[in-house]
Structure 1
Amino acid sequence: MKREGHLKKANEIRSSINSLEKDEKNTSAIVELTYGCTLHYISFGSEMKFGTHQDIHNGLIRFLRERDEDEIADLFSKLETIRHGRWYGGKGNGDTIKEVMGILNIIEGWKDEY
């Protein structure tokens, strides 16, 4: 997918997240959508910053670290952990929505720093 496609897809998913965000019963869906949305924002930002990107999550953290993007790598890693807990475990909702939205906001801002 080309960078514009990643941005378009991310913005589309972000719109869906925004419509679900106010209801805690949507926590698992929000986490999954946030994960996908950040993948697209990172792909777009990487293409703008480095002229290349990864379309899949496998190896993405290493890809970011190799380019000195440790903060984004750490945030994506944290999101992966949250996602795993929501999908396979029974972690409570608590502040999960707030936490993943914070991660999404930082990554969304990062994509524009080029």
Structure 2
Amino acid sequence: MTVRAMLTCAGLIVALTFTALNSLAQDEALDGEALYTERGCIYCHGPAGREPALPDYPKLDGQNEDYLVQQMKDIKSRARDNGYVGMMQPAVLNVSDEEFAAIAAYLAAQ
């Protein structure tokens, strides 16, 4: 195999790897969108986290992904127990860490 052919193959492998990783990230965001609706987040925080039902509810779109995950975990564990989070605690009780991550990825991408 010539050097040129090897470099072409290596370039193709790198391109396919990045395409696959990007596809995985998009799948996570799509799953997050479905979970956001299925878990009822949409009812208080609005479509894509942009239009909360009440002025005191936070807008979630475009927030930092790690921040969102930590807030959801803190609400679930009751480490955060202020404001309206008492209403949210039952909603997040059966949400897994993986689901938190998918929802956060979706919201951060908005």
**Does the pair score TM above 0.5?**
no
TM-score by length of 2: 0.34
**Which structure has the bigger radius of gyration?**
2
Q: Going by fraction, where is helix more abundant, 1 or 2?
A: 1
